Chain A
Amino acid sequence: MSGNPADIIQRLQTDRGEQFEGAVIDAFNYLGLDASLTRTQEAESDGTAEALLAESPYFVVIECCAVDQGNEVGYEKIGQIRGNFPAYLDERRQRIFKTGYKLLVGKPAFSSNARARADPDVCLIQATSLIKMIDFHSKYHFSQDELELVMSVAGELTEEHLRNIVNIYQRRISIYALVCLSLIMGHAIESENRRRPFIPAEQVVGQVLGYSEMLQIDNVQDYEIRECIRDMSSPILKIIDSRDDSVRLSSVSLKTITANLGEMGKEFFSKLEDYSNRLRARL
């Protein structure tokens, strides 16, 4: 058992059999679910995960299968998890949860038959997709409600399904970066003493709308910008100082703030640099 994402990722890549099952369960615990192995008995799947904090609490029955490189996880596993599922419909689960999901985690890939037969009630996740989920979670901290969007996929989880979840965060970080740039004279982020004086928040909204058009960030709405300004003024982010209806960049160093935000901070700073360069090239 390990909560270290790098270790879990490595085990997901290399382990087989019971070790692989253990790595999958550790992955779901890292993702914030309450997961545990079902010590193998007849007619039982490999593990379960529970989301008691979700708005609609749910549980997941997990089947794991790792086969040799060049082979594929077959459709038999779909029948197996469907057959095992009723064993998990005990009184406690029926009382607590609103939904139960069937999840098959496999590597290196699923057969076309397995993919075709998973619909409508089994979600297939390749180990590589689970690794991506761990990476994204390290950065964005998925909630149990967001993870339900993954569990409820009928068929194989694709890159697009994950994008739909992370796009919300990436878009938000893009707007944060644009708000930040609008508060720096000449968009020169390398020089932290070039903070603009207090300016009306509505002026910032107008500038960010202009920048988003120039940088081709789709359809940014003024309410989104106002929400971002509010977020950035919170004592947790502390990127912006606000006074009445005016705002300015706070006097906390941007580097300090981004360092404190971990992986998400790195993405924010990288966008800030990218947008700064592109805007300066255009203006």
Chain B
Amino acid sequence: MSEVEEIAVPEQIGWDALTKILVAYLKAGGEKEKVSGQAVQQISNVSQGNISVNNKFFVSLGLLEGETGQYKLTEAGVKYTKALDWGRIDEAKTVLAQNIKDKPLVRRTLSYVDLNKPVTEDDLVAKIATIAGVTKESRFSTGIRGFVDMLSTSGLLHEDSEGRITISKKDIAEQDLLTDKRTVATTATESSKRTSIAFPVTFTINVDQGTDVAKVKAVVKAIREALSEV
């Protein structure tokens, strides 16, 4: 499955109903075998239509597997729903975050928030719709808001009391590390293709109270390392 195919957003329903669907898969026996939407509907009280349109989203996050009409929980899906069903919410959040953070839609959403932080929920919903290639219809925006809630409850995103969304501090540290590595690797590869011409380069970095000093250091370090290979 290509990355484009793996991106799917929820539709029609929010995170509360999405959670009910997933837990209903567990209770319907989806831990061991594929179950029908009808079985899930009876347990979750979410309409079969809404279950059906959201299965693709769960598959894209690696929580469900199967084909149209018949799905079962993946190992990650079982771990997550069991933890929830037993009331171990903290454990469930960790399982969810660990299993979805590298999925294309999640990764691109976190990158967007990291680069533009803080963002508002409306901005983020619009951006996710663009990433997923869906329209601004309410059935998508409702689902995408549910997806944002999912990222918040799993601890990957943090929303403050004024509705400003950032990625969680723990994730920022990981993202920065990744960004540093990617920056250095990309620049080094590109620079090796350039012809060797010496010219002076001057950078101006405006530092204020909101500047992340660690990031500035990382950028300067990456530039220095990249240029030293020219």
Contacts and interface: CB of A to CB of B under 8 A. Distances in A.
A87 interface: yes
Given A94-B153, A95-B152, A89 B19 contact: yes
Interface in A49-100: 56, 82-83, 85-87, 89-91, 93-95, 97-100
Given A91-B14, A91-B15, A95-B152, A85 B87 contact: yes
By DSSP majority rule, is chain B's interface helix, strand, loop, or mixed? helix
A57 to B, nearest CB: 10
Contact of A43 (B19, B45, B153): B45
A56 B14 CA distance: 26
Contact of A89 (B45, B84, B149, B152): B84
Contacts of A43: 45
Given A94-B93, A94-B153, A101 B23 contact: no
A18 interface: no
Interface residues of A, number: 21
B90 A56 contact: yes
Interface in B101-160: 149, 152-153
Interface size class of B (residues with CB under 8 A): 20 to 34
Interface in B146-200: 149, 152-153
A91 B152 CA distance: 9
A121 B90 contact: no
B86 interface: yes
A102 interface: yes
Interface in B3-53: 14-16, 19-20, 23-24, 27, 43-45
B89 A86 contact: no
Given A86-B20, A86-B24, A91 B90 contact: no
Interface string A102-125: 100000000000000000110000
A172 B24 CA distance: 48
20 contacts: A82-B85, A83-B27, A85-B85, A86-B20, A86-B27, A86-B84, A86-B85, A89-B16, A89-B19, A89-B20, A89-B23, A91-B14, A91-B15, A91-B153, A94-B19, A94-B89, A99-B89, A102-B87, A121-B86, A121-B87
Interface of B: 14-16, 19-20, 23-24, 27, 43-45, 84-90, 92-93, 149, 152-153
